[in-house]
């Protein structure tokens, strides 16, 4: 038997027990002859004391061990002396009086100290991920992820959902990204695609009558990595038959509300029930379709008030069909000139030309633009923004798209700089009523705003012929604290409508044929159906208060899509290439 207890188990009531523990040496200290070893395993830390008076042999070995050695110790549990109790660890009331120690495995000095407070280069952490995972933070993230996944499974199992696996080697299911492709050995020149999501399979499972499906699949999208993006990520993918939009939203809301209440009781849900906000409303008010609702700073439309005011920047924007919008930044009057300049540079990254502003003081308004706008008009504009003394009103003027994005980004930056973000708040909402298509492409075709299986609202179907861009869809997004954590829709279940969407997207007959299995399946009796796919990585990231999803993925890739630990991607043997019928053309 390697151990009688784990390193996180012993308590005061175990006093006097003979125990055997095994784990890693977290630290070794020599206190005037007595050697203390903090022994670590996944469950915790236990202090073991080796006194040469008890066993000279054990003491000698204890003296020779170094951090990260794997050892087994035997000894007797005793209370720590008064004043030596360590409240920070669960086993802190006791220690083991060691009388034996075996080194099970020596360890090299690790490239970084486990549980160090110092920042370690991320590539080094990823190259030695198994050491990184020994530390508290990563260990807790991995365990939290497992608990979240288990909660989800239990919740859905209780509600008649069936967990069904779908293929990884499959055919392209476009979700708007590039496919990863895998050459076929048996059929030269043909390729599988890794699924961007199991979208088509889950719909076909509804045609198959499975009624309620879910899985936690890996999805693959060959796109550049960012803080909240990896080429390989995990979703909770689910689909339901005989449902309307609100059935799916209610289920997702209930699932995640109960998950957060049970597993993260310290997180306060901002609003229950979660707000359901229309796309048009949020892009106007927050400048984005994934607003961070933990704070206000709403964007105010001021085009009418600003029109003809004599301030060239506003007049110019408006006469070119643009808009003027503003944010009243609460308490920002304390910003220095250089802080305001920084913000002005910041909005330029999003296409804005600059950042006009008015400082609201007790005595009145202060701004370089007052002389153009005039006191009266400036006052009425400021009034509409709701600004009070101590605030600054920041303006955006120009084409609608630029103003929308730059004010949205400015809002987020202001929320951060003004410390308006309560980290324990979870602002969850659904965004609904998306347009079915994004802006029309240059070739005259339409790109789906979600994916091509999303159903148009029935009352808008007639507009598919006349005004496709006006068609609203049954798409919805789940948004938490400024992140899009999931999306879904009620699907098209009618082959004719599906064909029409393919036409509008500009699919050739050939491309349409690639999806003929969907059209054929619908012809055999498709139930009305819909679903959603919350991203597990982002959800765990937010709940664990981590800044990016790499921290909650056990083995993530770095920003260059490399697995530093395994050394992937890597060249393969010439024979493998030959079998796969691949010739590598090296770029110069």
Chain positions contacting ligand ASP, by CB under 6 A: 175, 197, 199, 487-489, 531-533
CB atoms within 10 A of CB 197: 23
Distance from C-alpha of 438 to C-alpha of 366, rounded to nearest angstrom = 41
Find the shortest distance in angstroms from Cβ 197 to ligand ASP.
3
* Residues shown for the chain: 588
Exposure string of 504-518, with b = 16+ CB inside 10 Å and e = fewer, is bbebeeeebeebeeb
Q: Are 198 and 533 in contact (CB under 8 A)?
A: no
**Cβ-based nearer residue to ligand ASP, 415 or 487:** 487
Find the shortest distance in angstroms from Cβ 148 to ligand ASP.
19
**Cβ-based nearer residue to ligand ASP, 410 or 532:** 532
CA neighbor of 536 nearest in space, from 480, 580, 579, 578? 480
Find the shortest distance in angstroms from Cβ 194 to ligand ASP.
13
**Cβ-based nearer residue to ligand ASP, 199 or 330:** 199
β-partners of residue 98 are 75
Find the shortest distance in angstroms from Cβ 488 to ligand ASP.
4
Find the shortest distance in angstroms from Cβ 235 to ligand ASP.
6
Distance from C-alpha of 547 to C-alpha of 421, rounded to nearest angstrom = 14
**Cβ-based nearer residue to ligand ASP, 197 or 385:** 197
Find the shortest distance in angstroms from Cβ 237 to ligand ASP.
7
The set of residues, in sequence order, having a beta carbon less than 8 Å from that of 238 and lying 6+ positions away, is 156, 161, 202, 212, 213, 214, 251, 531, 532, 533
**Cβ-based nearer residue to ligand ASP, 26 or 489:** 489
The set of residues, in sequence order, having a beta carbon less than 8 Å from that of 459 and lying 6+ positions away, is none
**Cβ-based nearer residue to ligand ASP, 152 or 269:** 152
Q: Are 431 and 282 in contact (CB under 8 A)?
A: yes
CA angle 284, 428, 437 (to 5 degrees): 45
**Cβ-based nearer residue to ligand ASP, 293 or 455:** 455
**Cβ-based nearer residue to ligand ASP, 69 or 434:** 434
Distance of CA 99 to the CA centre of its chain: 49
Q: Are 541 and 549 in contact (CB under 8 A)?
A: yes
**Element at 360 (helix H, strand E):** strand 356-361
Find the shortest distance in angstroms from Cβ 531 to ligand ASP.
4
- What does DSSP assign to residue 526? P
Find the shortest distance in angstroms from Cβ 231 to ligand ASP.
14
Pairing of strands 232-234, 218-220: antiparallel
**Cβ-based nearer residue to ligand ASP, 35 or 236:** 236
Find the shortest distance in angstroms from Cβ 437 to ligand ASP.
16
């Amino acid at each position: 038997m390697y151990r009688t207890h784990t390193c996180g188990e012993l308590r005061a009531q175990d006093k006097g027990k003979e125990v055997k523990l095994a784990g890693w040496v977290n630290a070794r200290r020599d206190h005037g002859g007595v050697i203390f070893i903090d022994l670590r395993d996944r469950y915790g830390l236990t202090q073991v004391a080796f006194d040469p008076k008890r066993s000279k042999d054990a003491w000698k070995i204890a003296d020779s061990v170094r951090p990260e050695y794997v050892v087994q110790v035997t000894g007797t549990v005793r209370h720590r002396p008064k004043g030596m109790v360590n409240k920070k660890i669960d086993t802190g009331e006791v220690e083991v009086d060691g009388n034996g120690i075996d080194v099970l495995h020596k360890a090299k000095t690790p490239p970084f100290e486990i549980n160090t407070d110092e920042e370690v280069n991320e590539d080094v952490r990823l190259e030695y991920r198994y050491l990184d995972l020994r530390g508290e933070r990563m260990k807790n993230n991995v365990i939290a992820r497992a608990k979240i996944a288990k909660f989800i499974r239990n919740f859905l199992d209780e509600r008649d959902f069936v967990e069904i696996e779908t293929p990884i080697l499959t055919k392209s299911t476009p979700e708007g990204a590039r496919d990863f492709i895998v050459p076929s050995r048996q059929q030269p020149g043909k390729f599988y695609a890794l699924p961007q999501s199991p979208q088509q399979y889950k719909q076909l499972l509804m045609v198959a009558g499975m009624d309620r499906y879910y899985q936690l699949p890996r999805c693959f999208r060959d796109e550049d990595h960012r803080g909240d993006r990896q080429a390989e990520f995990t979703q909770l993918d689910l689909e339901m038959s005989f449902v309307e939009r609100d059935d799916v939203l209610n289920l997702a809301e209930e699932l995640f509300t109960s998950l957060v209440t049970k597993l993260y009781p310290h997180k306060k849900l901002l609003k229950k029930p979660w707000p359901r906000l229309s796309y048009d409303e949020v892009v106007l008010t927050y400048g984005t379709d994934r607003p961070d609702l933990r704070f206000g700073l709403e964007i105010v439309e001021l085009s009418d008030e600003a029109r003809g005011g004599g301030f060239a920047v506003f007049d110019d924007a408006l006469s070119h069909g643009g808009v003027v919008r503003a944010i009243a930044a609460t308490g920002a009057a304390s910003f220095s000139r250089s802080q305001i300049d920084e913000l002005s540079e910041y909005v330029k990254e999003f296409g804005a030309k600059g950042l006009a502003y008015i400082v609201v003081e007790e005595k009145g308004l202060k701004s370089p633009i007052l002389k153009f706008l005039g006191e009266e008009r400036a006052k009425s504009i400021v009034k509409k923004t709701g600004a009070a003394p101590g605030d600054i009103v920041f303006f955006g003027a120009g084409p609608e798209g630029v103003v929308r994005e730059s004010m949205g980004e400015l809002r987020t930056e202001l929320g951060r700089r003004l410390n308006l973000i309560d980290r324990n708040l979870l602002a969850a909402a659904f965004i609904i009523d998306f347009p079915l298509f994004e802006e029309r492409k240059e070739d005259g075709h339409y790109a789906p705003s979600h994916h091509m299986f999303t159903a148009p609202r029935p009352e808008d179907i007639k507009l598919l012929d006349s005004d496709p861009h006006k068609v609203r869809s049954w798409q919805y997004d789940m948004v938490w604290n400024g992140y899009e954590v999931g999306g879904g829709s009620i699907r098209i279940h009618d082959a004719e409508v599906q064909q029409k969407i393919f036409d509008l997207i500009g699919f050739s007959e050939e491309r349409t044929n690639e999806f003929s299995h969907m059209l054929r399946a619908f012809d055999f009796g498709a139930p009305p159906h819909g679903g959603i796919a919350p991203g597990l990585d982002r959800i765990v990231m937010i709940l664990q208060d981590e800044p990016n999803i790499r921290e909650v993925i056990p083995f993530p890739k770095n920003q260059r899509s490399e697995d530093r630990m395994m050394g992937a991607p890597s060249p393969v043997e010439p024979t493998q290439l030959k079998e796969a019928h691949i010739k590598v053309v090296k770029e110069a």
